Amino acid sequence: METILLLVSTETDGSLAVPAFEAAGAAASLAAALPGSQFLAGLVGATVQPGADQIAACGASRFLAVSGPDFESSRYVSDAAAAEALTREARATIVVAPATSRWNRCLPGVAQRVNGRVDTHVTGVSVTGGGIGVSRWYYRQRMEAVLQRATRPWFLLTDPGSQPPWQGTPGTATVHPLTVTLPPGGARTRVTGVKEPAADAQTIRPDAGLLFVAGAGWTKKQADGQTHVPEAEQLIREFLKLTRASLGSSKSLVDLGGEGQAVLSFLTHLNQVGQTGSTPRHPKGLSTCCHGEEPHTVGWRFIGERRAISLDPNCGWARGKADVLYVTDAFAVLRHANALLQKTNTFGLLVSPR
């Protein structure tokens, strides 16, 4: 019989973010599909009561927590100590947590401590014939496997956006606090802050309805034999401002920056989509001036509708990777699109969030 522990961390105000509700949904469904299983929740953060109250009705029979100032920031030493204590106290055989950077960093190490096993980037959890099956992708989203494990505890980190969130009315949870002390001498690592672009320069928007991808073509010589990088930058910036789309890039485009060539100033490696970049989740994606090679398009695995603009009718997008390929000049299309958006964009936000 399984004992399922939902493990979530709270935000600075003590509440839970969307990925935590998604993990709660997965844990609750798993508990429901395994008659006789036990279901507990474990919370970690500076304060936890608001978060526990948000999921008071999720079906967990006990709410355990490790809280206090030492557990506010996302840091291996404190998060691992907290998660280990919660796992042991719950006698968990299955631990479900969201695959956020915080839990991805520490839970594999916790699995090691308790002699368990871990699967990260889980995109599906199912029960067939009483056995738990977990879906995840291999070779950078190129093939999907369903696997089962005999070893317990088994840690499952569910990818944000892959699970329906638990929905229910908040209540009042009785939280059982655990005392966890950090190693003697305290932590040798201190989180000092977060580095992010200014709000108006932030181009990565995980909740955006549209992913806009810029490829290296924006920096290449155009029909007149010249490059037009400043105009490309201005067109893309304008388009992002008008649509609130999230900006992705091909590797070639971001790499050009490292080689000292003129590229779009607001791009970094964080924008890179693909094999050695990210695999974002958005309902729609628009690729521009990008060839659609396999190492790039594997990063589009979780993009719903896909359209591309490229001068090359034989590019990768044409070969079944996009729903629509527009063979034309992206500069001209964006000029017209921006004008159109500006003219009709009286209400600001056009792209409906997920």
Partner 1 sequence: MNNAYQIVVCGGIVPDPLQTLEPVTGPAGPALKNEMMLPAVLDPWASHALYEAAHLARQAPGTKVFLVSLAPKAKLQQVLMTVGQKAPFELVALDGPAGGFTEPFETAAALADAIRAIPGLDPARLLVFGGWESACRGAGATLQMLGERLGIVDQFQGVDELQLGADGAFTILERIDGGKHQVSLCAGPPAVLGWATGNLPEPKNNPQVGMANMRAIMPALQKAKPAPLPAEGVVFASVTLPKQQRATRIVKDQSPETIAAEIVSWIRQ
Q: Which residues bind ligand FAD (CB under 6 A)?
A: 215-217, 220, 222, 250-253, 272-277, 289-291, 293, 295-296, 309-312, 315, 329-331
Interface residue with partner 1, options 124, 133, 168, 304 (CB under 8 A): 133
Cβ at position 339, least distance to ligand FAD in Å: 17
| Using rule CB under 8 A, residue 113 touches partner 1 | yes
* Sign, Cα dihedral of 60, 64, 67, 70: negative
What are the tokens at 91?
A: 């006698």
**Adjacent-strand bridge partners of 249:** 214, 272
Residues in 150-209 that interact with partner 1 by CB under 8 A: 150-151, 160, 183, 188-197, 202-206, 209
Choices 6-14, 58-66, 68-76, 166-174 (CB under 8 A): range interacting with partner 1? 68-76
Choices 5-13, 62-70, 218-226, 326-334 (CB under 8 A): range interacting with partner 1? 326-334
Going from the C-alpha of 309 to that of each of 198, 218, 284, the distances in angstroms are: 29, 11, 14
What is the C-alpha to C-alpha distance for residues 135 and 133, in angstroms, rounded to an integer? Answer: 7
What are the tokens at 353?
A: 């969030």
Interface residue with partner 1, options 170, 323, 353, 354 (CB under 8 A): 323
Cβ at position 240, least distance to ligand FAD in Å: 17
| Using rule CB under 8 A, residue 328 touches partner 1 | yes
Residues in 331-350 that interact with partner 1 by CB under 8 A: 332-337, 339-341, 344, 350
Cβ at position 104, least distance to partner 1 in Å: 6
Q: Is the backbone of residue 29 left (phi > 0), alpha (psi -120 to 50) or beta?
A: alpha
- Name the burial class of residue 267, with classes exposed (0-12), middle (13-18) and buried (19+) by CB atoms within 10 angstroms of its CB: buried
Cβ at position 252, least distance to ligand FAD in Å: 3
- Cα 30–Cα 32–Cα 33 angle in degrees, nearest 5: 65
| Using rule CB under 8 A, residue 33 touches partner 1 | no
Q: Is the backbone of residue 130 left (phi > 0), alpha (psi -120 to 50) or beta?
A: left
Choices 1-9, 26-34, 111-119, 227-235 (CB under 8 A): range interacting with partner 1? 111-119
